[in-house]
Structure 1
Amino acid sequence: MSESEQLLPKLPLDELLGEVQSRLQAVVAARDGVHALLEAVVSIGRDLELETALRRIVEAAIDLVDCRYGALGVIGDDGQLAQFIPIGVTEEQIARIAHWPHGRGLLGLLIKEPETLRLAEISGHPESYGFPEGHPPMHSFLGVPIRIRDEVFGNLYLTEKRNGRDFDEQDEIIVKALATAAGIAIENARLYDATRRREIWLDASAEVTQALLSGSEVGDALGLIVAHARAMAAAQSAVVVVPNGAGRLMRVVAADGEGAASLADLEFSAAGTLSAAVLESGEPRAVNELRLGAEPSPLLDRMPDGPALLVPLGAPPRVRGVLVLVKSKGESPFVGPAVRMLHAFAGQAAVGLELADTRREAERHGLVDDRERIARDLHDVVVQRLFASAMSLTAVARLIDRPDLAARVQHTVDDLDATIRQIRSTIFALQSARDDVAPTLRGRLVDIVEPAREQLGFAPGLQLIGELDNAVPDEVAEQVIPVLQEALSNVVRHARASRVDIVVEASAGRLRLTVADDGVGLPQDGRRSGLANLTERAERLGGSFEAVAGDAGGTVVRWEVPLQPSR
């Protein structure tokens, strides 16, 4: 046997060629796998949007190992699944699944023990928890952790390799290499996402604060808050609810997005609601999925049934309300960075609301101070000078021999006295115009007379004499208010007057109300039910009432009762 014959392997030629071809195909497949892996690495690093980058990672993994389903589970600070991104499952299939993955079974095993796991049959593993109702069937499984430096960010889950095959060692190597590259891409995306969120937060906070401090209405500012928060969270619907009725009720004061029209001004009981719980605790609360009837209020039932986030506006004990954000069903739940950003935004907005309240309170106090200063100046300067002038004229009138001239001077003195009474009434009205105290009798009387200006076409004259706010008991005050309303209503409807003078006086232990007009006078055969009502109110307090013709025409109504009504 020659030397060349001894070197040839004792194999049939066809088998030798088949082996060579098989190894060449393996080399080509490996080359194609490396090319596909390189393309996948470039693809997942192309987009800096975190959500998009995570989806690209799952899609690339599915393509590399040729399987039907894939998902990426993000591990939260509590060691549970904070975010779950499925690929290959349609929205209709997601809607049929009973509940979102919680991180139990094999998913939980990979969280507790972050090592590669490859199975031919999922149900055969002792840690298999089973699938929720409505979940599509899955058999083969490959799970690979994604690490960012020494931190386990999450896990890649791949199932159902096509054509009934099982995942092999080559698939495991490729996915592990992809997971390594994915960790770098995720870190870059997280840094970009944090920067972008910070910019959005700063812009939104600045706009809301500027609107509040520039004098915008609180309702407009709350509208800005919900609009910006909904955009920041990519939510379908957003509302702000505030406590009402000593905390027993909650009311929607601003709404944006889907169903905003049906949510506006919605009022509901606070008992047992998530909004009340967040209001009391002052801590945000995320819900992975809303279910119809999840709480005994109509609020969440009118919003989309996806993931929700409830954020307090402010910190205890000054929580002003709750910002409620809801996504569509099947979307990713709210995770740590988004929750922290929205919590910070809501806190900043609450600070802006507090500053706006403080500014308005300072303006109100400034207005009250101005009114008191004006009232003081009127009393100390104008009234005193008018009073001195009236006394001087009275003294002069006594020295005048001609009766007609003396009468004219006395008439001027009477006008000055009437002017002094009118100014004093104005002084009392200015001094009692405070928003933080109960309305006084003077203020209530002025509030009745002022609106009559538009109905009459001219301003009625009003004189308030005596210590009306201190000397008139509540029982009498509650009667004189409707009496004045009825008397003015009669003038508006029947008198056709061009002048009305109203005098309310508390003196000598009695309260007197006089309403005089220059109209057509009392009808002889008209209805008197209104006058009978005024008579009854007076007699109930031991007083009297009359309506008579004026000396110069028109009607004079006099209603008089004792300040201490008889029992």
Structure 2
Amino acid sequence: MTACDRAELREVSEAVLAVTARLSVRDVLQTIVASARRLLDARYAALGVPGPADTFAEFLTDGISDEQWRAIGPLPRRHGLLGAMLRDPEPVRLTDVRSHPRFGWWPAAHPELTDFLGVPILHGDEILGSIFLANKTRPGGFTADDEELLRLLAAHAAIALVNARLYEQSRELSIVAERNRIARELHDAVAQKLFSLRLTADAAATLVTRDATRALAELDTVRRLAAEATEELRAIVVGLRPAELAGDGLDVALRKQADLLDRVHAPAVRFAGAAVPRLPAVREEAAFRIAQEALHNALRHAGPGVVTVTLRAAGGSVVLEVGDDGRGFDPREASRQFGLASMRERARGAGGRLDVLSRPGEGTTVRLEVPLE
């Protein structure tokens, strides 16, 4: 196997692994676009997924700088050749894109395109989108072999889009099922108590001026029913706690979360914590949600090499830290951008304290301390 063959195999492998790694669908499609451009020696690459009317829900490019993209202007519409490719399942291979009968125009800042290769992203007979390349860097334009390899990458893009669709459908079904569960519990338990409470309160109001003793007895019943309804609501809310906390507790849930993120993100995500005693439900949930938010912020914004989650019990408290070696920031200037306000609100609601230690270029540590009792 030649060095060129090995490089091509690595590129195809990267695109395949992106699909199987459960990254966001946009990240997967961006990986496929970049791989296609490099593998097929193209100057430009793009991938479009249709949206409502004549828009694109996603339009990803590679080979165009951010400055060029800003100069080009708004996303393209589904007209001309781009629109035709979303209706015709056949690939398009041209020595000059301007020779196509459906070619229209491009904005003034758009790079000039010459040779062109585009293939549909197919799921059965359905066209989910299209991927296309322009301006082959080697002489001779795009070949039949190029077309075959781009078909392969388009097939992986189709897998990513179908997986995203199935996930969304599954999520919607889960939401509906959970909504129905809550509705049933509210009807079966709480609604009847609230109905009884209202009737009893009406009776007490009627008796206030005629029989104070009986009115007081009815008010005692109101208090009892209100307390029972509160407990029922609390039980339902507890049923909405993160499923990860339903088993072995915070330390196990965070270890699983770190392991999952380590598998699907390029930076290493490590759990370096120890087992801790169980916390009251509201504190345990707050700690878990804050850890999730801190991990999300680090992986999305910080550009780290390593993110570490530590958890320990110390002096009657549980201490959680999420630290990264990324680019850092000034917490005084970025509280909204990095979700610090919501994390601090959760910490306060759980009777804990949240500190964020960060400086530009020196990484970030989010530290939460909540009392055990």
- TM-score in terms of structure 2 length: 0.49
Higher-RCO chain (CA-CA 8 Å, sequence separation at least 6): 2
TM-score (norm 1): 0.34
